[in-house]
Structure formats: structure tokens, C-alpha cells
């Protein structure tokens, strides 16, 4: 994918004293007014440090929560200042507004290599409407724009999209790593390329499934959504979670896969229980063989063996959605076994393995597999829209 990178000659050229407006994702978990997980702060460090080394003045733009165009004190970015300064090992100034005289003065006051965090962009209603007047005001504060917030790139807001049209615009280091990984997984992958899609519902992932069957060589379907596919093929699913009204959609996706020569890997055996709780009696069953009060809560061992063999035969894997109710052992088994297999192949260098999605990240961490995969996206909505094949406005605006 060709987009403007921060270390390309034109950007790296003489950033000394230049004002860089840097969009970051600081929408971090907070507990009692304190940052409770600093993963997103850490993700912004490579870009900030690079700009500091070059003597730029760094003004950070971010949103926090949903103040909907009003100043909501509980949604201030101020609590970020201290932990960010500690991670950077350098002072971080704060400006009470992201536009206007307050912001301008705070940026002017910075020494070369200095950092200021500007207050929540969503305090202004124009942010989310991508208001041109707000965009011009914000653009007036900087000499260049750097977008390092892939997770907000599915939104066309002033700080994620509008600014890119008014200033020289570049992808930050985090954004760059994300785009390169996504490109390696789906844009321009080494083939054969395999997908795993799981999770609870077909209804939330119809566009994603339709896009993937047209682009992948094989696609495994697991989790609750596989029940809908089994039902659509005529199997009894007992008391399983199943969207029976989507049987036609499931059949349409199967037909699309056939036409596109994408091999569909549906479950061939299942793990069932009457109760979705720890310690409930658990049985491994053939398809369709379950009592009316039993539910499919995980993929069976045969299914996992087929999946891992398919991984062995693939060069690239893209994964979203757990294969079972991984939060409640033993229904984590298929997900954990598959994740560890993918991790070992990625570690050995024979598989490019990219995964993303809120519950998927939790499941991969639970399996101890996240660190060994090639890339794990924590971007949530932006990652899913990208898997759906939708252009992301924040990324489109950085393309050359």
C-alpha cells in the first residue's frame, strides 16, 4: 500500500522547529480518574520520540469518550499528561482547548522537541461532522499532520481526515505498522491465504464474510455463527445460539465461496453442554447429534485438527473471532489449541498470522499466543471495517 510515511525524505527533511499535529489514540481505559491500561499511550511513543529527536514541536490531538460537542469535565484528557510524561521521560504540557488562542500559545511556548497534549477534540461539535471551519482553525496550528490512530481511521472527523487535506500529511509509526501488517494479510498476501472467522453472530459479520470469501483461498467458520451455517445445511443444533432467520444468508455465503473457489471449513464435530458454565458436563458430538436442551459451545477435536492442517498448508492467516465460548473453560479449548498452533507457525516463520477484534485479542492473550503472532490489531471497529473491504477515510487521506 502506498501512503506517505513519516520517515520518507520529504517529511524527515528538516523538521527542526516545525509544528507537528499528531493524531493519537488516547481513548484509554480509566478507573477513578486514572489510566488503568497504558497500552495505547505506549503505542504512540515511537512517533512522538521520532519527532522529538528531529526537533519538531509535537502537539497531540486525541478524543476521549463521547462528549458530543460539549465540554464534559469527566472526559478531559488531562489525566493522560502525567503517565505520558513518565513513559516519555520528558515534560508534557497541556492546553485546555485543541484550537484557538489557548492551543496556539501552548504550541508556541514549546521548545524544539517539546510535547503538548491538546484537550479532547470531541469537545467541539465540528470534529465529528468534519466541519471545514474547525479543520482550518486546527490546521492553522501546525506545519504538518501525522495520523497515528488507525483505530479512529474508519471515521471521517477533522482530526482523523479533514486535516490531511490541509497540511502535508503522514502516517505515524503505529499507523504504518498496522497498515503494513494488514496489507500483508489481505491486501497483498502470500498465498495460500486462510481466514478464521468466529464469534457469536453471523448478523454482525455478513459484510466481512462476503468480502473474505471473495479474497481468501480458504475460510474456517467457527463460534456461535457456525451454528447458523450448520442449521442452514439441515443439521439439528438443539438449544445452541443460532440465527435461524439468517439461514438464507448463510447459504448465499456458501454459494459465493463455491463460485470464488474459496474452500469453506465448517465444523465437523462439536463440543456440547446443557449449561454454559464452568464444571457442567461436556460431550464431544458428531454434527446434528445433540439433545434438544444441549448447546454447541466449542469446536470439536476433529475440527481443530482440520484447522491446524489448513494452517500448515497456508502461508498467511487472518483471524477474527473465537471458535467457542473461550471465557468459560473448557469451551476455550479449540480457540486455545488453534491459537497456539498459529503462534508456533508464526514463530517458525512459515506463516504470516494477523488477528484482531476485541474478544479475539482477549482470547489470544488467554492462550498466551498474542506475542508470537505476526501482528495483533487492537483497533476494533476500524479493523473490522477493513476486513469488510471498506475504504477507511483516515487511511485514504494518507495515500499518495
Which active-site residues does the annotation give?
A: 40, 201, 358, 381
Residue 120 binds which of ligand ADP, Mg ion, none (CB < 5-8 A, kind-dependent): none
Q: What are phi and psi of 189, to 5 degrees?
A: -80, 155
Q: Restricting to residues 209-238, name those near ligand ADP by CB under 6 A.
A: 223-224
The CA distances from residue 220 to 241, 262, 309, 317, in Å, are 18, 10, 12, 11
Residue 223 binds which of ligand ADP, Mg ion, none (CB < 5-8 A, kind-dependent): ligand ADP
**DSSP letter for each residue of 308-332:** HHHHHT-SEEEEES-SS-TTSTTTT
Residue 355 bridge partners (DSSP): 319, 376
Q: What are phi and psi of 284, to 5 degrees?
A: -95, 130
CB contact set of 303 (below 8 Å; sequence gap of 6+) = 222, 267, 268, 269, 270, 334
Shortest distance (Å) from residue 95 CB to ligand ADP: 35
Residue sitting closest to Mg ion (CB): 359
Contacting residue, 67, 113, 162, 199, with ligand ADP by CB under 6 A: 199
Residue length of the chain: 400
Instruction: Provide the 8-state DSSP code for 186.
Output: I
Map residues 341-360 to x or -, x wherever contact with Mg ion holds by CB under 5 A.
-----------------xx-
Map residues 356-395 to x or -, x wherever contact with Mg ion holds by CB under 5 A.
--xx------------------------------------
**Cα gap 390→26, rounded to integer Å:** 24
Residue with cell 479493523: 383
Cβ distance to Mg ion smaller for residue 306 or 366: 366
**Cα gap 342→39, rounded to integer Å:** 23
Cβ distance to Mg ion smaller for residue 17 or 381: 381
Shortest distance (Å) from residue 302 CB to ligand ADP: 16
Is residue 196 involved in binding ligand ADP (CB under 6 A)?
no
Residue sitting closest to ligand ADP (CB): 199
Shortest distance (Å) from residue 345 CB to ligand ADP: 20
With DSSP H G I counted as helix, E B as strand and the rest as coil, what are the percentages for the chain, rounded to 5? 40, 20, 40
Residue 67 binds which of ligand ADP, Mg ion, none (CB < 5-8 A, kind-dependent): none
**DSSP letter for each residue of 109-152:** TPPTT-EEEEP-GGGSHHHHHT-HHHHHHHHTT-SEEEE--GGG
Is residue 327 involved in binding ligand ADP (CB under 6 A)?
yes
Contacting residue, 357, 372, 373, 387, with ligand ADP by CB under 6 A: 357
Is residue 320 involved in binding ligand ADP (CB under 6 A)?
yes
With beta carbons less than 8 A apart as the criterion, state whether 88 and 49 touch. yes
Compute how many other C-beta atoms are within 10 angstroms of the C-beta atom of residue 28.
Answer: 18
Compute how many other C-beta atoms are within 10 angstroms of the C-beta atom of residue 119.
Answer: 24
Cβ distance to ligand ADP smaller for residue 159 or 320: 320
Contacting residue, 69, 83, 183, 200, with ligand ADP by CB under 6 A: 200
Cβ distance to ligand ADP smaller for residue 67 or 322: 322
Cβ distance to Mg ion smaller for residue 117 or 196: 196
Contacting residue, 172, 322, 393, 394, with ligand ADP by CB under 6 A: 322
Map residues 303-342 to x or -, x wherever contact with Mg ion holds by CB under 5 A.
----------------------------------------
Three-state DSSP class for 164? Answer: helix
**Cα gap 233→247, rounded to integer Å:** 8
Tell me the three cell numbers of residue 85.
Answer: 510524561
Shortest distance (Å) from residue 16 CB to Mg ion: 44
Is residue 267 involved in binding ligand ADP (CB under 6 A)?
no
Compute how many other C-beta atoms are within 10 angstroms of the C-beta atom of residue 279.
Answer: 10
Rg of the chain, C-alpha, whole Å: 23
Is residue 197 involved in binding ligand ADP (CB under 6 A)?
no
Instruction: Provide the 8-state DSSP code for 212.
Output: H
Residue 180 binds which of ligand ADP, Mg ion, none (CB < 5-8 A, kind-dependent): none
Cβ distance to ligand ADP smaller for residue 325 or 398: 325
- Residues in the site for Mg ion, rule: CB under 5 A? 358-359
- Residues in the site for ligand ADP, rule: CB under 6 A? 198-200, 223-224, 241, 296-297, 320-322, 324-325, 327, 357-360
Amino acid at each position: 500500500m502506498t501512503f506517505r510515511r513519516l520517515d520518507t525524505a520529504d517529511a524527515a527533511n528538516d523538521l527542526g522547529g516545525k509544528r507537528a499535529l499528531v493524531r493519537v489514540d488516547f481513548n484509554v481505559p480509566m478507573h477513578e480518574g486514572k489510566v488503568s491500561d497504558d497500552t495505547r499511550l505506549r503505542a504512540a511513543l515511537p512517533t512522538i520520540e521520532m519527532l522529538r529527536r528531529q526537533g519538531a514541536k509535537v502537539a497531540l490531538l486525541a478524543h476521549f469518550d463521547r462528549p458530543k460537542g460539549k465540554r464534559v469535565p469527566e472526559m478531559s484528557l488531562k489525566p493522560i499528561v502525567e503517565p505520558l510524561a513518565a513513559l516519555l521521560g520528558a515534560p508534557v504540557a497541556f492546553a485546555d482547548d485543541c484550537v484557538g488562542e489557548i492551543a496556539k500559545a501552548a504550541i508556541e511556548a514549546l521548545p524544539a522537541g517539546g510535547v503538548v497534549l491538546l484537550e479532547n477534540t470531541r469537545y467541539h461539535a465540528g470534529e465529528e461532522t468534519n466541519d471545514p471551519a474547525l479543520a482550518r482553525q486546527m490546521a492553522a496550528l501546525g506545519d504538518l499532520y501525522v495520523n497515528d490512530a488507525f483505530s479512529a481511521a474508519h471515521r471521517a472527523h477533522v482530526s482523523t481526515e479533514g486535516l490531511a487535506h490541509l497540511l502535508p500529511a503522514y502516517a505515524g509509526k503505529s499507523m504504518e505498522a498496522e497498515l503494513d501488517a494488514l496489507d500483508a494479510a489481505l491486501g497483498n498476501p502470500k498465498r495460500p491465504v486462510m481466514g478464521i472467522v468466529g464469534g457469536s453472530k453471523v448478523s454482525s459479520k455478513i459484510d466481512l464474510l462476503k468480502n473474505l470469501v471473495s479474497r481468501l483461498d480458504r475460510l474456517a467458520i467457527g463460534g456461535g455463527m457456525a451454528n447458523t451455517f450448520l442449521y442452514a445445511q439441515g443439521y439439528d443444533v438443539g438449544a445452541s445460539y443460532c440465527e435461524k432467520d439468517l439461514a438464507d444468508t448463510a447459504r448465499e455465503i456458501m454459494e459465493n465461496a463455491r463460485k470464488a473457489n474459496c474452500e469453506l471449513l465448517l465444523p465437523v464435530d462439536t463440543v456440547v453442554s446443557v449449561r454454559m458454565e464452568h464444571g457442567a458436563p461436556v460431550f464431544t458430538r458428531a454434527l446434528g447429534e445433540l439433545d434438544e436442551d444441549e448447546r454447541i459451545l466449542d469446536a470439536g477435536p476433529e475440527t481443530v485438527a482440520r484447522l491446524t492442517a489448513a494452517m500448515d498448508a497456508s502461508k498467511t492467516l487472518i483471524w477474527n473471532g473465537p471458535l467457542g465460548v473461550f471465557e468459560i473453560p473448557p469451551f476455550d479449548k479449540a480457540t486455545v489449541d488453534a491459537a497456539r498452533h498459529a503462534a508456533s507457525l508464526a514463530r517458525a516463520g512459515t506463516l504470516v498470522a494477523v488477528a484482531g477484534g476485541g474478544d479475539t485479542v482477549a482470547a489470544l492473550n488467554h492462550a498466551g499466543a498474542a506475542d508470537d503472532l505476526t501482528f495483533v490489531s487492537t483497533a476494533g471497529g476500524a479493523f473490522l471495517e477493513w476486513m469488510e473491504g471498506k475504504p477507511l477515510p483516515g487511511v485514504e487521506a494518507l495515500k499518495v
